[in-house]
Amino acid sequence: MKSKKLSEKILRSIKSKGFNNITLNPVLETKYILQRSGENFKKFLFSFYDLNGKELCLRPDLTISSAIRFIQNKKDIREKVFYSGEAFRKTYQKKDSIIKNQIGYEILGSKNKQKDDKEIIDTSLQILKNSGFKKSVLKIGNVELFNLLINKLDIPRRWKNRLKRYHWNENYFNELLKRLETNSDIDPVFVETDKSRYQKMRKENQNKIIAGRTYKEVLDRFNMKIKDPRSSSTGKKNTNIIKQFLKIKCPLKKAPQVLNVFFKKNRINIIVGKGFFPLSKSNNKNLKIEFSAVNGREVEFYSSMIFSIEVKIKSKFKNFISGGRYDQLTGNLGFRKVSAVGAAVNMNLYD
């Protein structure tokens, strides 16, 4: 099946589920992207300045464009929308440009999260059915489960926040786990030096600035470390629990049982019910459905349910559809928080 015909079938499938087509602005204010992704992401943007000196960029992602559109329209009603087009990012493997074709569909201003999560997955399965792929796998995870686990562990609060914040960044996350497990980054000599500086700073003007922070902010942070220190014994235990959790993978229907056994074994007060994962029954015998604790970790803005559909092409499974719930995205962009769930189709499947 060629890409153009596949695209037409996908769009028909989405329309049949009651989603309305919208057109997205190809240009965004750069500040919105940087608020979410930071200055390091700036090098991947096609940015420029308008006549008033405002920095703009070509949209690097259509989901962000859709969220901004919803907020700026000042609507507070549930919307089912879909869109198609290109996302533009620089790459340093090819000369200076990359165009990523994207078809997305979303429910914004969601009122019933479980119902709307299920509708997005149902729509994705309908697309899969009409696309003609023979073998496929649906993987479902939940970022909220990971966050609940971290909150229950005996870890300093600042470290809980770090682990949750960088869950999507696998390399840095593993570095954090190593530090938590071994305390290898703590030098006793530096600790004593910091204590000496701490005593001196307490006698200084608390509004004085050092490295962009007031003395008071620095001292408050140091106090927090003193009152909530890391422990090498609990650090090793908790790191092992986190690593074992991220290895959990099983058929979806067994996920509540497997997860509850894991939490009980590690004396963690979390109970997962059967209704935790939104899913309709599928009559597709060639569709494998499974729970994966690491599914979708590479995507930064998902906040709870997350899923992906992979299809088999020439003996290899490739990502076809991915999505999830991202209630925190608009807040990270500097707007009010909006409940939202959606998915995107990988139109570069045959590239």
Residues 311-331: pLDDT tens digits? Answer: 998 888 999 999 999 988 888
Separation in Å, CA 14 to CA 83, 105, 301: 10, 7, 23
Determine how many CB atoms are found less than 10 A away from the CB of residue 35: 14
- My answer on whether 12 and 113 are in the same domain is yes
Give the global pTM.
Answer: 0.79
- My answer on whether 113 and 257 are in the same domain is yes
Determine how many CB atoms are found less than 10 A away from the CB of residue 106: 26
165, 199, 229: which is the final residue of a domain? Answer: 229
**Residue 205 belongs to what domain range?**
187-229
> What pLDDT, in 10s, does the model give residues 268-308?
999 998 777 877 567 778 899 999 998 877 777 788 899 99
The answer to the question of residue 118 being in a domain is yes
- Split into its structural domains, the chain has a count of 2
The answer to the question of residue 64 being in a domain is yes
d(CA 118, CA 341): 10
Tell me which of 167-181, 197-211, 217-231, 322-336 is least confident. Answer: 217-231
Three-state secondary structure readout of 226-291: HHCCCCHHHHHHHHHHHHHHHCCEEEHHHHHHHHHHHHHHCCCCCCCCHHHCCCCCCCCCCEEEEE
